[in-house]
Chains A and B, each alone.
Chain A
Amino acid sequence: MRKWQCTICGYIYDEQLGQPDHGIPPGTAWEDVPEDFSCPDCGVSKEDFEMIEAS
């Protein structure tokens, strides 16, 4: 499971946790997160995230 961080506000998407509030179940790989996903904190798009941790 990996973690991806928003380069603008620092929000972290953790694949293990998903983002259930936005309909993304725990365990969802970043590739399977919808392309129209936007950062829950600052609203920038999926392509403005970078991988910070792989394990």
Chain B
Amino acid sequence: MPKHGVVIIGTGLAGYTTAKEFRKNDPETPLTLITDSDGAFYSKPMLSNAYGTNKLPTQLATQNAEQMADTLKAKVLTHRHVMEIDLNDSVVLTQSGDNILFDRLVLAIGASPIVPPLEGNALERIHQVNSLADYARFRGDLAEPRKVAIIGAGLIGCEFANDLRRGGHEVSVFGPDALPLSNLLPAQAASELKTELGGIGVDWQLGSAVKTVNLNDEQFELILANGQSHQADVMLSAIGLRANLQLAKQAGLSTARGIVTDRFLQTSSPNVYALGDCAEVEGLFLPFVLPIMSAARALGKTLAGEKTSVQYPAMPVVIKTPAYPLVVSSPPAGAEGNWQIEETGTGLRCLLKNGLGQLVGFALTQDCVKERQALVKELPPLLNT
């Protein structure tokens, strides 16, 4: 009988879902979660449509750390910053001086927003939203209608653009590519997305990167590579995520884009596992909700003694832009294909087919999003046993 039990670093969706799945299979073994936050449970995807669903940041936290500890029969150590993992002695060291011993360790330490490469004096005042606490600060600056500049026309940039317009703010979106979501969508769908969000008042400033941002008298001035200048009251940067690797590197674990794991989510050290936005599972770095749920289910069993590999079916991503509903399923790594686009009159059905005519990915818009469930069954899995 192990005496120290399972320790999970991180109480985001990956950490808490793993704990929940573990408890379904093992109600007894000691379980400890460590977080530098307040440990409240919330769903991160809800941050980018909270206006549309009339939710305040406080309402997004559905359970506090005590309630989670109670439900999970676990210790939840909050406001603890992990400084170091010592694999020789199987101990986690925190800044406040705790030494937490483990038999098995799970890293669910997430990713951090990429800091935009900007000149100027305003970098520290540009919001990045990757946690409920970040979001609460951001909403604090949006108590009255403001002029908001979003850097990044990807998934999060587009979702916030739509949501903040619903919240009554002026929104401009900046990015170097000519179209939004250009890495996920065929040009025709991206172009319609641009038009429809434009229709609800989103101002697109695409095709030239933001180079410099200065803050003077609480007004941001953005200067683009093409020399144009724009003003804003509030700024949000949403240009992507990078896995948090520092702890793992310092502990001597293998890392690439994420902490490297096999299909059992085991890192290069036995008894140490990783999942979620910090992990690269069999070469796949997939910072989305669905991979987290699949991984947590497998890991919950493995930690309880029933070694279980992760299965990734095709995992479509719903993009929360109600002005132009969208769902995208990206092809498996290395799969090539050509887009076949059909206009149905009430949306676009964009099918990505390989040289053999097999479906490898899709993008569905407007009313066509209903076809997702049927099409997903035709797609190859991303990771199979």
Spell out A's residues near B (CB within 8 Å): 7-10, 21-22, 38, 40-45, 48
CB < 8 Å neighbour of B289 from A10, A22, A40, A42:
A42
Write 29 A-B pairs (CB below 8 A) sorted by A numbering. A7-B43, A7-B62, A8-B13, A8-B43, A8-B45, A8-B46, A8-B289, A8-B293, A9-B45, A9-B46, A9-B289, A9-B318, A10-B43, A10-B46, A10-B53, A22-B370, A40-B372, A40-B373, A41-B318, A41-B320, A42-B45, A42-B289, A42-B290, A42-B318, A43-B289, A43-B290, A43-B317, A44-B290, A44-B293
Smallest Cβ-Cβ distance to A6: which chain B residue: B43
Which A residues lie within 8 Å of B317 (CB)? 43
* Closest Cβ–Cβ distance, residue B232 to chain A (whole Å): 29
User: Contact residues of B with A, CB < 8 Å?
Assistant: 13, 43, 45-46, 53, 62, 289-290, 293, 315-318, 320, 370, 372-373
User: In terms of DSSP, what is the predominant structure of the interface of chain A?
Assistant: loop
Verify B370–A21 contact, CB threshold 8 A: yes
Complex: A10 Cα to B59 Cα, angstroms: 12
Inter-chain contacts of A10 with B (CB < 8 A): 43, 46, 53
Which residues on the A side are within 8 Å of B293 (C-beta)? 8, 44-45, 48
A10 to B42, CA, bound (A): 11
User: Considering the chains assembled together, what is the distance between the CA atoms of A6 and B355 in angstroms?
Assistant: 38
The answer to whether A38 and B46 touch (CB under 8 A), given A43-B316, A45-B293, is no
Instruction: Please measure, in the bound complex, the distance between the C-alpha atom of A21 and the C-alpha atom of B293, giving whole angstroms.
Output: 24
Taking CB atoms, residues of chain B closer than 8 Å to A44 are 289-290, 293
Interface centre among B13, B46, B289 (most CB of A within 10 A): B289
CA distance A41 to B62 in the complex (A): 19
Given contacts A8-B46, A43-B318, 4 further A-B contacts (CB under 8 A): A9-B43, A9-B45, A42-B45, A45-B293
